């Protein structure tokens, strides 16, 4: 069953009430999570707070999904208000027609998560740089990278000397990691070839090749590739 049919099936079960759920990124993959609607009225939805908090803790929510039973997918005043309050896009489906209307918030707080990978445009370096910028930490724009540079014997763009030129100070990855430290990885290569940002509690933010940008645990996979960390000051 594809994603569209899973959403339709959930809306069918909830009818005549509004069906609801979220789109979220888990380990670089976008997934659909149906949720319980606890609103009193059929023409409204409120995602169960316990379910939503659990999803906030375990995933990167990139969209709120709900249905408009026997109505158009045009956003209501309430949709617009709460979309802007949350800073998360609203995916509104008419039901049973399943016409989709995507409502964008005035300020999208999910821009860092769920990005499609494109080398040199939206990749690990740009994800790291954009995340730090959101924390008022500026990293200089990089030189032009050649794709697969780490396999072609060219410059090591994540070498200690290059990173120090960006203004980073090395820190001990075993004893001194702090929130917003830049993590450097050597993933199945002879040169350092990946980076991310430490978020605390063994969680980091990154954008791996051919995956969506996301938060992820360092353990068990990524920690074995971790080779260094650097600190920048706002």
Could you report the per-residue pLDDT of 54-104, keeping only the tens digit for each? Answer: 898 889 999 999 999 999 999 999 999 889 888 899 999 999 999 999 999
Look at residue 3 and tell me whether its pLDDT is greater than 90. no
Query: Which residue is it, tokens 């990154």?
Result: 206
One domain, residues 10 and 88 = yes
Classify residue 117: in a domain, yes or no. no
- Could you tell me if 7 and 99 lie in one domain? yes
Q: Which of helix, strand or coil describes residue 172? A: coil
Give pTM, 2 decimals. Answer: 0.71
**With bands split at pLDDT 50, 70 and 90, how would you rate the model's confidence at 145?**
low
The 10 Å Cβ neighbour count of residue 195 is 24
- Tell whether the model's pLDDT for residue 7 goes beyond 80: yes
The count of structural domains within the chain is 2
Mean pLDDT value across the chain: 88
Q: H or E element: which one contains 203?
A: strand 203-206
The whole-number pLDDT of residue 12 equals 97
Same domain? 128 vs 92:
no
Residues 128 and 88 occupy one common structural domain: no
**Domain check: are 133 and 219 in the same one?**
yes
CATH number at residue 25: 3.40.140.10
Whether residue 164 is found in the same domain as residue 210: yes
Q: Is residue 118 part of a domain?
A: no
Q: Which residue has the higher pLDDT, 203 or 49?
A: 203
The verdict on 128 and 227 lying in the same domain is yes
Burial of 84 per CB tally in 10 Å (0-12, 13-18, 19+): middle
Residue 218's domain comprises 124-231
Whether residue 20 is contained in a domain is answered as yes
Percent of the residues in the chain that have a pLDDT greater than 70, as a whole number: 91
* Residues 91 and 32: beta-carbon distance below 8 Å: no
Check whether residue 128 and residue 225 sit in a common domain.
Answer: yes
């Amino acid at each position: 069953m594809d994603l569209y049919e899973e959403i339709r099936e959930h809306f069918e079960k909830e009818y005549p009430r509004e069906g609801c759920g979220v789109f979220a990124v888990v380990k670089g993959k976008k997934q659909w999570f149906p949720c319980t609607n606890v609103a009193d009225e059929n023409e409204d939805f409120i995602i169960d707070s316990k379910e939503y908090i659990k999803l906030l803790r375990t995933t990167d929510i990139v969209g709120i999904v709900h249905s408009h039973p026997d109505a158009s997918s045009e956003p209501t005043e309430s949709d617009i208000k709460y979309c802007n309050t949350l800073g998360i896009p609203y995916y509104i489906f008419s039901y049973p027609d399943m016409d989709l209307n995507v409502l964008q918030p005035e300020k999208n707080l999910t821009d860092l998560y769920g990005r499609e990978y494109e080398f040199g445009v939206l990749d690990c370096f740009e994800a790291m740089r954009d995340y730090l910028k959101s924390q008022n930490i500026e990293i200089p724009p990089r030189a032009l990278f050649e794709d697969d540079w780490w396999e072609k014997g060219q410059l090591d763009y994540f070498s200690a000397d290059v990173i120090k030129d960006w203004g980073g100070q090395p820190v001990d990855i075993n004893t001194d990691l702090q929130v917003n430290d830049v993590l450097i990885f050597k993933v199945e290569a002879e040169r350092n070839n990946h980076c991310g940002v430490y978020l605390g509690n063994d969680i980091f933010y990154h954008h791996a090749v051919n995956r969506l940008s996301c938060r992820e645990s360092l353990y068990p996979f990524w920690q074995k590739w971790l080779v260094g960390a650097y600190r920048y000051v706002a």
